[in-house]
Amino acid sequence: MSLAVPDGMSRVEFFNSPANLKNLAEENGLFRTPEDLLMYRKLIGHSAEFDTSVILDTSRKILDPLGRPVRRDQMKRQQKKVFERMTQILCDYMLDKYPDPEKHLVLCGEASLDATWPLTKPGVPSIRMIHNHFMVFPCKDLKNAEPADPNDPNLTDSGHNSLFLRHLREVYHEFLEVLDLQILEYLPAEESALSLTGYPQGLPCWYVKKGREELSNRYFWYEYEQILRGFLDFYRTFFDLVATGEAKVPMNANFSAQIDDVLLSSNKFQNVARDLRERVIQDPAFANKIRWRPAYKQIMYRDDKGRLVVTISQNSVGNAITELLGIVVNRVEDPEAYARIEPALVGRLLEARERLIAANIGEPISAPCWPQGEYVPCREMKAASK
């Protein structure tokens, strides 16, 4: 869709600034809760079928971008509870609307949104907040699409260039396999791959044993968070070793004994970290590309067998969730093409929103294109206002 960027701002600055947040809420906002969880229409979308996001928009309460929550383990209890409820409701909508795994790829992806972007990138740290993205892709579109170039730099975490998978796969799997999980069960890599894209390309995976009903179980979300906590321990331990050259358990580690037993006792783990440390010393420009603080994508998707599968990926460059799936979306600004798909797309977003309204966890937003809860082309609204 077309978008007017304020004078004096580049597109990069706009999309990662408070100006963007204002636009999301006022022009494209769908639903907001008292905890400031905001559901909105994507400005730069990935799918024309179903594509929406939920962020914890604390930009008006916490003015310092570096002081905002960017991960679920940093959220307050009530925020986390409502965030999980919204995720469950939107996932239920997608699974009800698109019940056949052979026809539609359904996924949601949670991320620390630009939490550790290099400070030299204009404006990026200002948007900093936790983010969950809900998407549906028709499988026929994926089947008919051109295969992605495996050397495309955007495919950073799909097993092509990932540091953790290419160099630390065995110890990464070993570290995460020992998590004590009851609702989620470890799934071998060869059983979890999507036939269309090969995702998740060998990343550790777990499936929901009893299926989608478990999404309403609070203990499911506890286990979901345990996977994140394990990943954070791995990430911090590795990059602390790269940064300081000192092998130690990070402060506030979640699984201290596991770090000591599995990671710090691994020669491979220590050698890869020290090789990377030496490269940073020799090539200072390369150091600016590293995300020294944890950056991740935690994804739940429906596989070919209809199972809900959870995985987590190192997000070293800031690539989109679709690119983690081995799909590089070619976005072209085309107002006429967007106008053709907009009524149906917005209609599905409003349909999903009805479930959030029924759950009584927040209030709908009357944006210009849906002033009374029904889609109205924005150009008609502008004409009427004249």
Structure-block tokens of residue 182: 């009851």
Which of 137, 94, 138, 91 shows the shortest CA–CA distance to 110? 91
Which of 375, 378, 227 shows the shortest CA–CA distance to 313? 227
Beta bridge partners, 32, equal: 38, 363
Which of 121, 98, 93, 170 shows the shortest CA–CA distance to 15? 121
Structure-block tokens of residue 255: 């699984």
Q: Where are the domains of the chain?
A: 11-364
- Give the distance, in angstroms, between the CA of residue 359 and the centroid of all CA atoms in the same chain: 24
Which pLDDT score is estimated for 153? 59
119 to 278, 291, 292: CA distances (angstroms): 22, 11, 12
The reported pTM is: 0.90
Amino acid at 190: E
Q: How many residues does the chain have?
A: 386
The kind and range of the H/E element at 314 are: strand 308-314
Which of 164, 166, 184 shows the shortest CA–CA distance to 233? 164
pLDDT mean values, one per 10 residues, the chain (386 residues): 77 74 88 96 86 91 84 92 97 98 94 60 66 92 79 53 76 90 91 85 90 95 95 93 95 94 96 93 81 84 95 65 65 85 95 98 95 81 38
296-302 and 308-314 strand pairing? antiparallel
Q: What is the DSSP secondary structure assignment for residue 149, as one 8-state letter?
A: P
29-32 and 363-364 strand pairing? antiparallel
